[in-house]
Amino acid sequence: MKILNYILKFFLSLQTSLWLLGLSLLLMLVGAVIMPGNPAFQELHSIQLFRWITTQPLQITWWLWGLIGVLAVMAVNTLFCSVESIIKKRKVTHWLLLISPQVIHIGFLFILLAHLLSSAGAYKMTAVAREGSLIRISEKAALLKVNNINIKLDYYGGIADYKVDVEYIRDGKVFERDVIRPNDPSDKTGVNIVVKNISPYPREAVLLEIHSEPGAVWALTGGILFMAGIVCLIMLKVRIER
């Protein structure tokens, strides 16, 4: 019982939050020193974090392991503090002032969840394609056909704009058509297809990247909640001050 009490006290403490934030800062600072000088981190752009981290030596990944651990404890600490705050202060008159920080905390937890999902389940594939190329984009037997690559050059010969017409084929039949533009990916089959690079010479060609980010929706939801909470908190603080 004493140990349980101690654990509860630990997770309900603001001091714990500060220590965890401080520790995460320290670990990220170490990472910021280790990461730029090490080419092994380039691979992180193409495979999931959890798969990559288990294949790399501990000398370069220890700070990431530490950070994952600290963030896990921070998630529990955030949850406990929020629940306690709501229980303790539920009778206050400014309930919005009570709920806003908790909305921020929920947003933060969603963002952590997003990173967890992406670190475990994201995938990326690249393919060079020309007009007429066929690319297998997933195990669900869907094919992507690049129909037309349209590149607009500027006065200096640089790429001003582009447009790639694609169609999705399953069982020999076209079931969807789409156009990929800058900042406008194609996502008709649950994966995000973007043009990573495009070349007008000697023949139009594109480097396509096919992404699956299972955490994206959670990250967006978390971001919206975080912002809603913080904007609400600032507005209430201004009103109370006035």
Partner 1 sequence: MTLLALSFALYLFALWKRPLLYGGLLLQIAYMVSRGAELGRLPLVGPHDTLVFLTASIAAFAIPFGFTLKERDRFFAIIAAAAALFTAFAMTAKQHNSPLPPVLKTFWFEFHVVLAFMSYALFGIAAICGGLYIKKQQSTVDGLAYRAILIGYCLFTLSMIFGGIWAYLAWGTYWMWTPKELWTSILWAYYSFYLHARLTPSWSGKPMAYLGIVGFGVVMFTYLGVSLLMKSSHSF
User: Which residues form the interface with partner 1 (CB under 8 A)?
Assistant: 14-15, 17-18, 21-22, 24-25, 28-29, 31-32, 35-36, 41, 44-45, 114-115, 118, 122, 124, 154-156, 158-162, 181-185, 192-194, 196, 209-211, 213, 215-216, 219-220, 223-224, 226-227, 230-231, 234, 237
How many angstroms separate the CA atoms of 9 and 149, rounded?
61
Residue in the block written with tokens 């009570």: 98
**What is the smallest separation between the CB atom of 140 and partner 1, expressed in angstroms?**
18
3-state secondary structure of 142: coil
**What is the smallest separation between the CB atom of 31 and partner 1, expressed in angstroms?**
6
**What is the smallest separation between the CB atom of 63 and partner 1, expressed in angstroms?**
10
**What is the smallest separation between the CB atom of 2 and partner 1, expressed in angstroms?**
26
Amino acid letter, residue 104: I
Residue 207: φ, ψ to 5°: -105, 110
Q: Which residues have C-beta within 8 Å of that of residue 62, sequence separation ≥ 6?
A: none
Judge contact between 103 and 236, C-beta under 8 A.
no
Judge contact between 77 and 17, C-beta under 8 A.
yes
**Closest among 35, 37, 42 to 62, alpha carbons compared:** 35
Which C-beta is closer to partner 1: that of 174 or that of 190?
190
Which C-beta is closer to partner 1: that of 69 or that of 182?
182
**What is the smallest separation between the CB atom of 19 and partner 1, expressed in angstroms?**
10
Which C-beta is closer to partner 1: that of 132 or that of 157?
157
